[in-house]
Structure 1
Amino acid sequence: MTDQPTGRRVVAWTSLSLDGCTSGPRGTQYDTWLYEHAGHEQTGAYFESIWRGADTALLGRTNYEGFASVWPGITRDPATDDRTRALGQWLDSVEKVVFSRTLTDAKWENSRIAADLEPTVRELKAAPGRDILVLNSASIIQALLRAGLVDDLRFAVVPTILGGGLRLFSDDLPDSKWRLMETTTLAHGAVGLHYSAEA
């Protein structure tokens, strides 16, 4: 029997195209493939099973600014469904750490800016709490993979080929091995994958 890991787990979450991209060329595909995927009820239920286990969210500047510009309005819209509203309330209340060397003011409640990724995440992992969830930020996930700080990879692989864009797995990532923990098939053809790092 191996010893169980101690401390909080860093869970990297993102949606991927079949060709491994988190966004299309110049971001032009966002409002089609990713928005449609996120709008499916099963996607919402699957993601809820992930975010409910976390009490800290890590974001890059671009995702943070995008989330902060739309989620408060979605959360307060009376037409928003209960599951989406619950996600918005979690996003409002969760501790949010934004990694940026250019952002000077994080106005969304419970947000703070950090410039140094690795020491900040090591501090968070050593502190008491639940999972630390990286929200869709490819650059943050890549940097944490290089530092060996990702405990779990959680993907939704969407049946779309973008033919280019921002790839999650860049050529400079170190070798690593992962153990498949769970697969989930969503009704619209996406597949949820959960991998844990092998010791």
Structure 2
Amino acid sequence: MSNRTARKVTANIGLTLDGRYHGAGGPGDMGAIVPYAVTDVARDHLARIHEGKTTAVFGRGNALGFVGYWSSVAEDENADPRDRGYAQWLMGAEKVVFSTTLTEAPWKRTRVVKGSVGGVIRDLKADGSHGDILVNTAPSILKPLLAADLVDRLYLMICPEIAGGGERLFEDGLPASAWELISQETGKTGELALVYDRVR
């Protein structure tokens, strides 16, 4: 299959000013990110990230909390329409969950995969399906994809706080790459919604 018709691999994640996706307290320490996830800019950003995507990719850890939360939003008539739109897309999309411990997925339209991240994503990218792939706030998947230079678009929410500890997304040793800024929006509390495309 030619690169022209291959599916694009996209990813979304929120980061602090010091490039961390959680604080020093571990994966549950989201105090520097969560307050900015409910702003208008963040919700507008959320409404954009799933356009043209048909496959949602997760790691086991983020899938367990993520899919459960959004399944309730999908049915909540009082939810913000942007949140509900994303939730309904997620429930209807093909979902791929990387896990070595789950034997079957607890959600509809979901399959559990083992294998290497790069190999599975390359297969998804070239499988001829309609629509692109979205890696959903899954650093365990996104990091190896960045290392393999397999990401075509990054949706970043930059939160105006320094966490001072916790895991960083962009670690030393990544291959050098150039990115084009496609869109940017600034919120009232200083959060930035950025979309970058990989220049190839």
Fold conserved between structures, TM > 0.5: yes
Matched, 1:167 2:168: yes
SS at match of 1:68: helix
Cα shift readout 1:20-65 (whole Å, capped 9, x = no counterpart): 01111213532x3322111112211122112122111111111101
Greater shift, 186-195 or 160-169, is seen at 186-195
Q: Could you say which structure has the higher helix fraction?
A: 1
Q: CA deviation at 1:179?
A: 2.4
Q: Which amino acid aligns with 1:187?
A: K
Partner of 1:77: 76
Change (3 A) 1:80 1:181: closer
Cα shift readout 1:145-184 (whole Å, capped 9, x = no counterpart): 1222111122111101111112101223222222222222
Separation in 2, partners of 1:179, 1:42: 20
Separation in 2, partners of 1:110, 1:186: 35
- Number of equivalenced pairs: 196
Partner of 1:39: 38
Matched, 1:15 2:14: yes
Q: CA deviation at 1:74?
A: 2.6
Q: Which amino acid aligns with 1:34?
A: I
- For the 8 Å contact 2:40–2:187, the answer to whether it is kept is no
Runs of 4+ in 1 over 4 A off after TM superposition: none
1:96-135 alignment to 2 at 5 Å? Answer: 96-116=95-115, 117-126=117-126, 127-135=128-136
Q: CA deviation at 1:86?
A: 1.7
5+ residue gaps, structure 1, are: none
Partner of 2:55: 56
Separation in 1, partners of 2:19, 2:169: 6
- For the 8 Å contact 2:39–2:187, the answer to whether it is kept is no
Instruction: Give me the CA root mean square deviation.
Output: 1.9
- For the 8 Å contact 2:99–2:112, the answer to whether it is kept is yes
Between the aligned residues of both structures, percent identity stands at: 38
Separation in 2, partners of 1:27, 1:139: 11
Separation in 1, partners of 2:62, 2:72: 16
Greater shift, 44-53 or 7-16, is seen at 44-53
SS at match of 1:21: coil
Q: Which amino acid aligns with 2:123?
A: E
SS at match of 1:132: strand
Cα shift readout 1:97-156 (whole Å, capped 9, x = no counterpart): 111112222111111111122222112111232121111111211111122211112211
Change (3 A) 1:58 1:28: closer
TM-score (structure 1 length as normaliser): 0.90
Partner of 1:190: 191
Matched, 1:181 2:185: no
SS at match of 1:141: helix
Q: Which amino acid aligns with 1:72?
A: S
